[in-house]
Amino acid sequence: EEEDEKTLRSPICCIMGHVDTGKTKLLDCIRRTNVQEGEAGGITQQIGATYIPAENIRERTKELKADAKLDVPGLLVIDTPGHESFKNLRSRGSGLCDIAILVVDIMHGLEPQTIESINLLRMRNTEFIVALNKVDRLYGWKTCRNAPIGKAMKQQSKDVQLEFDHRVTQIITQFKEQGLNTELYNKNKDRGETYSIVPTSAISGEGIPEMLLLLIQWAQKTMIEKLTYSSEIQCTVLEVKVIEGLGTTIDVVLVNGVLHEGDEIVVCGFQGPIHTTIRSLLTPHPMKELRVKGQYIHYKEIKAAQGIKITAQNLEHAVAGTSLYVVGPDDDVEEIKESVMDDMRNVMSRIDKSGEGVYVQASTLGSLEALLEFLKTPAAYIDNLKEEKKKEAAEDAVFPCVLQIMPNCVFNKKDPIVLGVDVKEGVLKIGTPICIPQRDFIDIGRISSIENNHK
Ligand code: GDP
Ligand code: MG
């Protein structure tokens, strides 16, 4: 373990920002180019995360001639939208994310969820860079596929450069109104006090090299201590999933430490702590589509930071968004069982179960918490209601907003009501978990149709 004291783990990065700014596309862009071009150190799509090895980052940033000295083994980008990773996922000690990319659409500037994201980042004291995305949409933009943005800007006409400068100036002003100093990355002399803005295009790839380099440099410069590998397990359950042939599995992000096949673990369960043994540690095959059946690599042990699928018995009632503990030889299992339920108890203690109300189900403990908060102050989320109407609505009903999205559903005080949003499909469903306050996750204004899957 001597050697471990000096090694660094991969920083964990999440992507935040308003809906449609290009968060998913940016991640796609980072992944796909590499798949297609078969560059050095292939990126592996892990469970709930994308791992970009240092080798790959070196390759993609070499045009910058920055001679990036990479001390970290890579970068682990969490696929879950940032709001989720921050609000819903608890990880013992620190939060799950070390660093974040705040995505802003250059054509739109700061939007409501940009501001929510800023507030979350502030609350967690998380370092971030701003990706000013969709530069290719500037009128007359000349595509320079995957080029450094510095180089791409030089290829642009005067008009494009003027429009760019104008928009950047406006956006810097908007940030200032939020109390944040920002500056274009190449003009930023005061990193630490001033956040860097990197212009990007997730479609044609301009600026991705600078974005990757900045993330790595900043992480290595400011969070060495946090990134120093520790053998103490820090692990968060991202999702609980039933997989054909494997039974109920949990997808976790291992932030620190090593997990072994056969390790005795304790996770939080809806019906109390779950004490079980790791049957297998799995990741998808590199480059393989995640959903392809049977495409898993088995590991005897895995070291942080990684995204892993764990199979074990009795995981049916595991709660996503909580910490996983490993029982060491000197540990008291009963103590660990107590700790593992802390988060859950905390949330549950805030619910009044004595009177009338609705039954709430959510995909993670964090969502549940957020939803409960939401149900308490629903009108606050109805942006287009006038102030006095909001108040009225809040006093009037339990959740006027939620009623709107629940056709064919009778509110019976005793009935369990499960609300649901499936944003990927653009469809609202009754029966899948909801997490309204995570606006990153749903865009209420864009929901196209509503279904009732109780049919
Ligand atoms: P998210 O909601 O933030 O994850 O946004 P998406 O990644 O789903 O992107 C939203 C829309 O914007 C999609 O239609 C993308 O194709 C488009 N988009 C994303 N990034 C860019 C970009 O850099 N340039 C252009 N022109 N379109 C983009
Ligand atoms: Mg997305």
What pLDDT, on the 0 to 100 scale, is given for residue 357?
A: 40
What pLDDT, on the 0 to 100 scale, is given for residue 1?
A: 43
Determine whether the shortest distance from the Cβ of 163 to ligand 1 is under 6 A.
no
The answer, as to whether pTM is greater than 0.90, is no
Which ligand minimizes its atom distance to the CA of 80?
2
CA distance 279 to 291: 21
What pLDDT, on the 0 to 100 scale, is given for residue 393?
A: 45
Whether 286 shows a pLDDT value over 60: the answer reads no
How far CA 187 is from CA of 69, 230, 298, 299, 362, in Å, comes to 21, 36, 47, 45, 44
Residue 54 dihedral angles phi and psi, to the nearest 5° = -55, -40
Determine whether the shortest distance from the Cβ of 25 to ligand 1 is under 6 A.
yes
Q: Are 102 and 121 in contact (CB under 8 A)?
A: yes
Residues 384-442: tens digit of each pLDDT = 344 555 455 444 333 322 322 222 222 232 333 333 333 333 333 333 333 333 333 33
Please state which of the ranges 25-29, 128-132, 145-149, 437-441 shows the lowest mean pLDDT: 437-441
Determine whether the shortest distance from the Cβ of 21 to ligand 1 is under 6 A.
yes
Whether 454 shows a pLDDT value over 50: the answer reads no
**Closest residue (by CA) to atom 22 of ligand 1?**
134
Determine whether the shortest distance from the Cβ of 19 to ligand 1 is under 6 A.
yes
What pLDDT, on the 0 to 100 scale, is given for residue 195?
A: 96
DSSP code of residue 354: S
Determine whether the shortest distance from the Cβ of 18 to ligand 1 is under 6 A.
no
The Cα angle at residue 57 between residues 135 and 68, in degrees rounded to 5: 100
CA distance 191 to 34: 30
Average pLDDT over residues 150-157: 97
CA distance 373 to 274: 27
**Residue 153 CA to ligand 1 centre (angstroms):** 20
Helix axes 23-37, 208-222, angle to 10 degrees: 100
What is the Cα 455 distance to its own chain's centre?
A: 33
**Could you please report the per-residue DSSP string of 210-277?**
HHHHHHHHHHHHH-HHHHB--SS-EEEEEEEEEETTTEEEEEEEEEESEEETT-EEEE-BTTS-EEEE
**Closest residue (by CA) to atom 27 of ligand 1?**
134
Closest CA relative to residue 215, chosen from 63, 95, 102: 102
Closest CA relative to residue 233, chosen from 250, 252, 220: 252
Closest CA relative to residue 237, chosen from 80, 31, 440: 80
Asked casually if ipTM beats, i.e. exceeds, 0.95, the reply is: yes
What pLDDT, on the 0 to 100 scale, is given for residue 389?
A: 54
CA distance 134 to 132: 7
* β partners of residue 357: none
Which pair of structure tokens corresponds to residue 292? Answer: 């392809």
Which pair of structure tokens corresponds to residue 132? Answer: 């000013």
* β partners of residue 427: 422, 449
